[in-house]
Structure 1
Amino acid sequence: MITVYGIDYNLNAKKAQMSDVLHNCMTTVLGLPEDKRAHRFVPLDKTNFYYPGGRSEKYTVIEISMISGRTEETKKKLIKQIFTDFERNLAINPVDVEITIFEQPSHCWGFRGITGDEATLSYRVNV
């Protein structure tokens, strides 16, 4: 699951494209299936979104929650791919993108009426 925060007028203008870019990164780097898009966009009024100096109003925060198991190399590749694709496809400079990956063991996930450790997934987690 991905949650994206940004200033409302910037985020709303690009969220459909942003979702496509993020999903492409997730399918390419992590091998997620095409139907596993789970994105949430949180557009904030500029008065409710404080960000570090040296950033523009395009500043975007991306939080990625996933079942633990991916290698450090894979997670770093995902982060770098997002930076590259945001700059190339959305004209958002890497200095304006902050990415955090949150991992939880599979037993801490619940979906389809079961816990993640009980689920049979159509993709590999240990990549």
Structure 2
Amino acid sequence: MAQVKIYARREWLQGRRGALSELIQSCLAEALGLPAEKRFQRFIALEAEDFIHPADRSERYTILEIHLFEGRSVDVRKQLIRLLIARLSAQLELHVNDIEITLVETPRANWGIRGLPGDELALNYAVDKA
């Protein structure tokens, strides 16, 4: 399970949501083994005055906050971060200084999904992928 929030300036997100969504999902599938249809993403389009950041970030500055079930190895989490940075740079021409990614792991028991605590769900993918 992964819930993704994408924060960026409204004018930069305009016309890029589809490409960003596909790119993010491809990285989640490759690094974490998530099924393609398990897409949970929220785009938070901010006005410039509502997105305060250091001067060394541009108008394309983008933050990805990804909430995950805990259980993946450090190597798998780093692979996800590296894939996202590489593809955001190459495919959307984002400078690495304009990319920030935070992974937040939560015990499955702390999630409520489809009427059950997350640790009681039957999943069709592995969470403890090494």
| Counterparts of 2:89 and 2:15, CA distance in 1 | 16
Task: Give the corresponding residue for 2:75.
Answer: 73
Q: Work out which of the residue numbers 16, 19, 30 in structure 1 matches 2:18.
A: 16
RMSD of Structure 2 on Structure 1 (CA): 0.7
Give % identity: 35
Q: For structure 2, which runs of at least 5 residues remain unmatched after alignment?
A: none
Which amino acid in 1 is paired with 2:107?
P
Equivalent position of 1:126 in the other structure = 128
1:86 and 2:100 correspond: no
Could you say what secondary structure the match of 1:61 adopts? strand
Number of residue equivalences: 127
Moved >4 Å (runs of 4+): none
Per-residue deviation, 1:34? 1.1
Equivalent residue for 2:5, pick from 3, 6, 25: 3
2:49 pairs with one of 44, 47, 50 = 47
Q: CA deviation at 1:12?
A: 2.4
Q: Report the CA distance between 1:51 and its aligned residue.
A: 1.2
Instruction: Give me the whole-angstrom Cα distance separating, in 2, the residues matched to 1:76 and 1:52.
Output: 25
TM-score by length of 1: 0.98
1:13 Cα deviation from its structure 2 partner: 2.4
* Equivalent in the alignment of 1:58: 60
CA displacement, residues 37-66 of structure 1 (integer Å, 9 cap, x when unaligned): 111000000010011221110000100001
